[in-house]
């Protein structure tokens, strides 16, 4: 970038009537410094000669005959620059220099001299050419000052105006290059780019067609109130330009993002279009197009500024794309490690990102994919969840039970390029099941305590009734037959009542049992014939294991038989139209740090017994009361599941009930595995 102090010093030197040679030294120093070069030369043309006024390092001859310039040395570059009236830029190494610019100093299409710079590192850019333009104008000013003092005043004003404009353009480019690294989303990037372009080139519409991250994006900047027809005309021109640059032909309708640049500017239509490609490594990635309401011809300097800014936009696009990909990858890695489920959606509720934990939670009821719209979580609409500011508690019952706590937060534009929402999902199923389990235990313990108390007292009364009945029968052998029959009925009903009391005591866990080592698989095999006689032919029985040789527990054979028969009876009633009755066995090891199927299972080895049917199943209300004594969906009260629960408790086991309407019922029992103690 050209420093204002250098320009001021040169202008003062020209005005103070010092020699042209001294002025050329200042111009040469400024040109070398501004282009980060090592050496250089400044000279003017007189008839057929190029006279070098000033040079650094003495690499140039003092004088060149233009018509005799050689094609085999640096003279050919000087000859081409003078002949073509265009700068010669050589960025690859040549015998004389590592890089070179030969810049023709011209005024009104007449080449008056040359400024040459060479050496240094990197490649020369269009910004370096803009710097040399300023020094070329200063050299012209100095030349004409010496040639014609009278004409120089008017020319000086023109040159100063051009210099001021070029300096302003360089300042704009410099300021843009300083701000662009702090932009991290596409909307702000193009808003800044369009704004800085507008400060030099007063367009009416500007558009950028670009492929970003594999998808087409179109941004249009507006600087006035345009009718719909003019916008359509501009969009159609961009569509044609897309084909002209041999880019993939895609419709840009529906992909356009409008950016307001200047609301005050008025325009009636479009008359002129100018466009430049976005090039990276010689590959066209897109293009920038500007439209004017009047007939406009951009001068050489404006076109060069446009080209330089577009080049800066191209490089910044590549940098921003790499940066955003890196940041998104890093954020994705962080999100993947979080224990909670995370889903990020945009304002249209399309899924941008999710982590494996969220995928696992959703997999049971709604598989999620990037780009798809998230409408519901379970049976609740996402809109209702986003409206609430507090934690949302959600229970999902199908196909498996899941309890979620959901927290949402609005997401401003960032590395995801758009605004949206972050949804945090916390799986609290184990915590909730544990709370429900202990609540059920508390309720059943209360019922059991009450049932046990009644059972003991009722048992005492029954004993008195049955003993008294026996005493009457024994002490009165001559009673008539009808009286004896009535007394025997009383005794029989007493026995039935005593059996009911016994079952009460099972539930309340007050009865005594004798435990011994039992292999559950062998026990099931011994019951298999009885179960096949018990079930009708249209119910099939299956036994499934994980191929262990035995499944030992410590238990009471009589109570375990009662457990199987009770659960078989329930399954039979649930499969009136037929089905499958499945008995499953496997060994389970719960270790520290591993997730157990039930929160209340402590560390250790267990035998998991699964008793499953394909019957009518149960709803949540039925399932909640299924283990309570006398609760039944039939006309008569029952003790089947409640007695089974009591038997499991007597064996220090844990019983879990899973069921859904029309999906069957699964009773899963965890018995502590019997292990011989070392003597």
Burial zone of 223 (CB within 10 Å; 0-12 exposed, 13-18 middle, 19+ buried): buried
**Kindly report the CA angle at 283 between 321 and 314, in degrees rounded to 5?**
40
What mean pLDDT is predicted for residues 15-39?
Answer: 90
CA distance 253 to 274: 21
The neighbour count for residue 406, using CB atoms within 10 Å, is: 21
CA distance 209 to 607: 66
CB 73 within 8 A of CB 81: no
pLDDT at 670: 93
Kindly list the distances between the CA atom of residue 276 and the CA atoms of 4, 164, 238, 244, 266, in Å, as whole numbers in the listed order: 30, 25, 12, 11, 25
Strand, coil or helix: what is 645? Answer: helix
CA distance 339 to 357: 7
In 181-335, the DSSP E strands lie at 205-212, 215-222, 256-260, 272-280, 283-292
CB 180 within 8 A of CB 316: yes
When mean pLDDT is compared across 150-164, 188-202, 350-364, 584-598, the lowest value belongs to 150-164
pLDDT at 29: 93
pLDDT at 510: 44
pLDDT in tens, 47-96: 889 999 999 887 788 888 888 887 666 788 888 899 899 999 999 888 77
Mean pLDDT of the residues in the chain: 80
Task: Report which of residues 25 and 159 the model is more confident about.
Answer: 25
pLDDT at 380: 83
DSSP state, residue 551: -
Q: Is pLDDT at 562 greater than 50 in this prediction?
A: yes
Strand partners, 220: 207, 258
What mean pLDDT is predicted for residues 160-166?
Answer: 80
When mean pLDDT is compared across 244-258, 264-278, 455-469, the lowest value belongs to 244-258
> β-strand 63-65 against 88-90: which pairing, if any?
unpaired
pLDDT in tens, 260-307: 655 555 555 667 778 788 876 677 778 888 888 777 777 777 788 888
CA distance 42 to 106: 13
Task: Report which of residues 666 and 315 the model is more confident about.
Answer: 666
Classify domain 183-325 at the CATH class level. Answer: alpha beta
pLDDT at 413: 59
Q: Tell me: domain 516-672, CATH 3.30.930.10, correct?
A: no
pLDDT at 363: 74
Strand, coil or helix: what is 404? Answer: strand
566's CB contacts (< 8 A; 6+ apart) are 640, 641, 643, 644
**Kindly report the CA angle at 398 between 396 and 401, in degrees rounded to 5?**
55
Q: Residues for the chain: how many in total? A: 679
Give 4-179's CATH code, choosing from 3.40.1350.10, 3.30.450.40, 3.40.50.880, 3.30.420.130: 3.30.450.40
CB pairs under 8 A, 24+ apart, for 253-256? 255/216, 255/217, 255/218, 256/218, 256/219, 256/220
pLDDT in tens, 472-520: 878 887 788 888 788 888 878 777 777 666 655 555 554 446 678 999 9
**Kindly report the CA angle at 378 between 375 and 382, in degrees rounded to 5?**
35
- The whole-angstrom distance between residue 656's C-alpha and the CA centroid of its chain comes to 37
Which residue, chain included where needed, has tokens 């059972």? 455
DSSP 484-537: HHHHHHHHHHHHHHHHHHHHHHHHHT-S----EEEEHHHHHHHHHHHHHHHS-T
pLDDT at 635: 47
CB 345 within 8 A of CB 423: yes
Classify domain 338-427 at the CATH class level. Answer: alpha beta
**Kindly report the CA angle at 314 between 312 and 315, in degrees rounded to 5?**
65
What mean pLDDT is predicted for residues 188-213?
Answer: 83
């Amino acid at each position: 970038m050209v420093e204002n102090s250098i320009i001021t010093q040169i202008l003062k030197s020209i005005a103070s009537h010092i020699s042209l040679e001294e002025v050329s030294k200042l111009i040469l120093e400024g040109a070398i410094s501004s282009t980060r070069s090592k050496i250089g030369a400044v000279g003017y043309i007189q008839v057929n000669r190029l006279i070098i006024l000033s040079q650094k390092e003495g690499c140039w001859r003092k004088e060149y005959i233009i018509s005799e310039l050689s094609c085999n040395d640096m003279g050919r570059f000087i000859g081409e620059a003078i002949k073509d009236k265009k700068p010669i830029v050589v960025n690859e190494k040549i015998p004389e220099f590592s890089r070179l610019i030969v810049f023709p100093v011209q005024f009104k299409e007449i080449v008056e001299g040359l400024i040459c710079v060479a050496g240094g590192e990197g490649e020369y850019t269009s910004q370096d050419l803009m710097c040399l333009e300023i020094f070329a104008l200063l050299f012209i000013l100095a030349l004409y000052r010496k040639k014609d003092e009278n004409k120089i005043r008017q020319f000086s004003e023109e040159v100063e105006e051009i210099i001021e404009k070029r300096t302003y353009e360089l300042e704009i480019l410099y300021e843009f290059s300083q701000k662009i690294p702090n932009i991290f989303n596409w909307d702000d990037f193009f808003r800044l780019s369009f704004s800085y372009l507008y400060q030099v080139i007063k367009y009416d519409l500007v558009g950028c067609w670009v492929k970003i991250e594999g998808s087409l994006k179109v941004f249009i900047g507006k600087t006035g109130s345009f009718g719909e027809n003019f916008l359509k005309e501009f969009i159609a021109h961009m569509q044609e330009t897309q084909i002209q640059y041999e880019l993939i032909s895609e419709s840009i309708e529906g992909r356009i993002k409008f950016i307001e640049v200047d609301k005050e500017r008025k325009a009636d239509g479009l008359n002129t279009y100018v466009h430049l490609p976005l090039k990276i490594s010689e590959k066209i990635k897109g293009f920038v197009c500007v439209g004017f309401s009047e007939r406009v011809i951009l001068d050489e300097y404006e076109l060069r500024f446009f080209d330089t800014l577009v080049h800066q936009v191209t490089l910044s696009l590549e940098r921003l794309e790499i940066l955003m990909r890196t940041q998104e990858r890093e954020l994705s890695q962080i999100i993947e490690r979080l224990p909670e489920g995370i889903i990020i959606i945009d304002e249209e509720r399309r899924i941008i990102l999710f982590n494996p934990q969220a995928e696992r939670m959703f997999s049971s009821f709604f598989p999620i994919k990037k780009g798809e719209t998230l409408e519901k979580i379970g049976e609740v609409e996402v809109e209702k969840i986003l409206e609430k500011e507090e934690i949302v508690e959600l229970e999902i019952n199908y196909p498996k039970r899941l309890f979620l706590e959901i927290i949402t937060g609005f997401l401003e534009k960032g590395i995801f390029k758009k605004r949206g929402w972050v949804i945090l999902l916390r799986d609290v199923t184990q915590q909730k099941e544990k709370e429900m389990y202990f609540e059920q235990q508390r309720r059943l313990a209360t019922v059991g305590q009450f049932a046990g108390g009644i059972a003991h007292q009722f048992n005492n009364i029954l004993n008195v009734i049955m003993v008294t009945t026996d005493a009457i029968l024994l002490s009165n052998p001559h009673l008539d037959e009808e009286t004896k029959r009535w007394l025997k009925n009383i005794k029989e009903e007493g026995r039935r009542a005593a059996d009911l009391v016994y079952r009460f005591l099972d539930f309340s866990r007050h009865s005594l049992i004798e435990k011994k080592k039992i292999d559950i698989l062998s026990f099931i095999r011994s019951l298999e014939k009885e179960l096949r006689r018990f079930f009708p032919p249209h119910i099939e029985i299956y036994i499934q294991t994980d191929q262990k040789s035995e499944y030992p527990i410590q238990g009471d054979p009589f109570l375990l038989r009662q457990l199987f028969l009770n659960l078989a009876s329930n399954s039979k009633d649930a499969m009136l139209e037929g089905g499958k009755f499945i008995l499953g066995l496997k060994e389970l090891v719960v270790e520290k740090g591993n997730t157990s199927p039930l929160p209340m299972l402590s560390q250790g080895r267990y035998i998991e017994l699964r008793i499953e049917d394909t019957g009518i199943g149960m709803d949540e209300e039925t399932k909640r009361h299924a283990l309570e004594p006398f609760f039944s969906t039939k006309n008569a009260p029952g003790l089947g599941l409640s007695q089974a629960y009591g038997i499991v408790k007597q064996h220090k086991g844990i019983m879990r009930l899973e069921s859904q309407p029309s999906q069957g019922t699964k009773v899963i029992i965890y018995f502590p595995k019997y292990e011989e103690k070392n003597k």
